[in-house]
Amino acid sequence: MFHAPIVGGEGHGPSPIRLRALSLGAGVQSTTMALMAAHGEIGPMPDCAVFADTGWEPKAVYDHLAWLMSANVLPFPVHIVSAGNIRDQLIAAGDGQRWASIPAFTRTVTPAGAEMPILDEDDGEIVAIGTRRTAKETVSVGMIRRQCTTEFKIVPIRRKVRELVGLTRKRSPDHPLVEQWIGISTDEIIRAKPSFEAWQVKRFPLIEMRMSRADCLAWLKRHDYPLPPKSACIGCPFHDNARWRHMRDNDRDAWVDAVDVDRTIRTGIRGIRGEVFLHRSAVPLDEADLSTPADHGQLDLWANECEGMCGV
């Protein structure tokens, strides 16, 4: 068995780790990690897995999770935690209520003749020194800052892990009690970051095993396991065209739902100027051109966003 150093390491002597918790997104990487642990190919055996449910995963993910939790698949329990339903929150956001923002796209149109500030620098500060009028209409597309990962994934998992290790409403120790396993593979290594909190260390077993996503799929096939669906919220704006197309052509209910939510959030979101869209081209989802084979330059790194806990 290959052992690599733990990020944020335990040092020498007896391990102070009291809990090993595997972050389960129920996609390819975390499923492989969990099953490899079950086979004894990664160790020591985790005490549990934790799945953070946003309430808006495709049915295939919930079916796959149910299989993972069924008898004789994993030798450790899977805890399901939730901070509410992200879809409900999005609908409420379209009504001007508070939301944990998703990385949706905005389209802002500035008409010709609009008054714009002329900016300059004064003593290191940017200041307006006058105004000008725009010569022609301009359209700008932006992305809303993402809070959903923290609110719907990181916080509920953290809360559960602290509860399991007896740290609820207690001061955190200055040494790690918890080892958190994250399913990031070598092709996403840039997303593997150490813990910023002294009471826990993160481990990236797939990186320790030098496994890519393709290696994970090969391992699952070799062991005759069902191939997991891609896990992420149905309407996650990080989806690339291939993912949207697959949903449109294979999961009609999810597609209709995403189109519906996309329409609902168009206007009325507090603090957002312009219109809001789920598709990165900033047009209504059911009108977006999904035909391009790959989204060149469009953040392929995010492909399995929530699987590795949305890039913690």
Positions in the binding site for ligand SF4 (CB under 6 A): 54, 86, 102, 146, 148-149, 152-153, 232-233, 236, 238, 305-306, 310
One-letter amino acid of 280:
R
Q: Which is nearer to ligand SF4, 30 or 54 (CB)?
A: 54
The candidate with the shortest Cα–Cα distance to 68, out of 216, 191, 228, 188, is 228
- Residue 270 DSSP label: T
**Separation CA 72–CA 67 (nearest Å):** 10
**Separation CA 58–CA 42 (nearest Å):** 29
Q: Which is nearer to ligand SF4, 243 or 245 (CB)?
A: 243
Q: Which is nearer to ligand SF4, 236 or 247 (CB)?
A: 236
Nearest-approach distance from CB 192 to ligand SF4, in angstroms: 17
Helix (H, G, I), strand (E, B), or coil: what is residue 251?
coil
For 55: left if phi > 0, alpha if psi spans -120 to 50, otherwise beta; the answer is left
Q: Which is nearer to ligand SF4, 105 or 219 (CB)?
A: 105
Buried b (16+ CB within 10 A) or exposed e, 185-219: bbbbeebbeebeeebbbbbbbbbbbebbbebbbeb
Q: Which is nearer to ligand SF4, 19 or 102 (CB)?
A: 102
Rounded-to-10 torsion of CA 274, 275, 280, 281: -90
Q: Which is nearer to ligand SF4, 153 or 202 (CB)?
A: 153
Nearest-approach distance from CB 149 to ligand SF4, in angstroms: 5
Q: Which is nearer to ligand SF4, 85 or 110 (CB)?
A: 85
**Separation CA 2–CA 173 (nearest Å):** 29
Nearest-approach distance from CB 262 to ligand SF4, in angstroms: 13
CB 11 within 8 A of CB 40: no
Nearest-approach distance from CB 239 to ligand SF4, in angstroms: 8
Judged on CB neighbours under 10 Å (0-12, 13-18, 19+), 122 is exposed
Q: Which is nearer to ligand SF4, 265 or 310 (CB)?
A: 310
Nearest-approach distance from CB 155 to ligand SF4, in angstroms: 11
CB 91 within 8 A of CB 261: yes
Nearest-approach distance from CB 289 to ligand SF4, in angstroms: 21
Nearest-approach distance from CB 179 to ligand SF4, in angstroms: 23
Tell me how far the alpha carbon of residue 164 is from its chain's centroid. Answer: 23
Q: Which is nearer to ligand SF4, 86 or 290 (CB)?
A: 86
Nearest-approach distance from CB 133 to ligand SF4, in angstroms: 39
Nearest-approach distance from CB 312 to ligand SF4, in angstroms: 11
Write the CA distances from 252 to 63, 183, 239, 246, integer angstroms: 16, 29, 16, 10
